[in-house]
Amino acid sequence: MHKMAKSHIVANVPSIVSKLLLFGILMATITTTGAQIGVCYGTVADNLPHPREVISMYNQQNIKRMRLYGPNRDALEALRGSKIELIIGVENERLQDIASNQASADDWVQRNVVTYGNVNFKYIAVGNEIESGPIAQYVGPAMEKIQNAISKAGFGDRIKVSTAVHPVILQESYPPSKGSFKQDYRAFLDPIIGFLVRHNSPLLLNVYPYFTYIQNRQSVNLQYALFQYPSVLVPDGQYSYQNLFDAELDAHYAALEKAGGGSVRIVVSETGWPSAGNDGSVTNKDNARIYNQNVIKHVKGGTPRRPGGPIETYLFAMFNENLKNGDPTEKNFGLFYPDKSAVYPINFN
């Protein structure tokens, strides 16, 4: 954060110069604040530092935003009085109960939000990466019930309710203007989109150019995925794309526009690149550092389709998580090791 110039320093400077100087500092401050990035605090591990130490790390690194995947009592206690903006998740396994019972939603909000009134809640993510299936029908109704609960509790103006999705919901994504949602997902998605429009809430989107590249090596350029392609690679009518991150976001914006959600803003609730696991030529510390550092730089501006910017973005994740299931890369998305040392150098400013 830039400090304002002390008045005695500029007292003898002509007034117009003073005003221009102060205006420039103010704009720099606004730009810096607007572009601040968040980091997801995943806890699927048995060797992580105590949450009080983690909150201290966020402050030391100047990380101003955090995503928690569920109500973590120790983390919420440690966040009391902090200025860190928080996304807190409603657990997938609670969705059916909350969707069918306002009292359950009220209780969840009372226990996990109202109890921590001096925590800087920004969003409640009702479910994470729910796909079309038995649980999907409960997401929209659960969002409505959580919205009712935070409104009753007096937080309706301060906290936005959403859900976190991932690109499996898209039918088409290339070129980005062709973006559209899968037809069989529309019954699940349309109520969510309607809710977001009515409440002026953003859609939370987990975006991973890494996985897009790994699954489509024959057709996707690695430099394009790492923000390193030197020129436009994908022309798309009036828009043109030099990186995969923007292309994936804009495919979702195009899909939202076609589904009546043209006013909805996207928040990137996860993105990242693993530093180890599988093919070392792609999955390594150098590429992870390049990707994440470029994300931090890039999201100060918007996308070709939505050039306003900045793009609120959360890197995944704070730590390597040794109990994650699945592919070995899943354990290696962390920016830090559990002993708090950096996996690779990165600058959050």
Among the listed residues 144, 270, 312, 321, the single catalytic one is 270
What secondary structure letter does DSSP report for 126? E
Q: Which of 218, 219, 121, 207 lies closest to 164, judged by CA?
A: 207
Rg of the chain on CA atoms, in Å: 21
Residue ranges of E strands in the chain: 38-40, 65-68, 85-90, 121-128, 160-165, 170-172, 180-181, 203-206, 234-236, 239-241, 266-271, 313-315
Q: Give catalytic status of residue 129 as yes or no.
A: yes
What secondary structure letter does DSSP report for 4? P
Which burial class, exposed, middle or buried, applies to 306 when counting CB atoms under 10 A from its CB (0-12, 13-18, 19+)? middle
User: What dihedral do alpha carbons 17, 19, 21, 27 form, nearest 10°?
Assistant: -150
Q: Which of 301, 249, 246, 295 lies closest to 272, judged by CA?
A: 295
Q: Which of 88, 99, 89 lies closest to 135, judged by CA?
A: 99
Reported as type and span, the H/E element at residue 247 is: helix 244-258
CA gap 65, 195 in Å, rounded = 24
Residue 102 C-alpha from the chain's centroid: 28
CA gap 299, 309 in Å, rounded = 7
Residues 6+ apart with CB under 8 A from 135: 92, 95, 96, 127
CA gap 212, 99 in Å, rounded = 33
With H, G, I as helix, E, B as strand and everything else as coil, classify residue 199: helix
What secondary structure letter does DSSP report for 83? -
Among the listed residues 77, 85, 129, 172, the single catalytic one is 129
* Active site amino acids: 129, 270
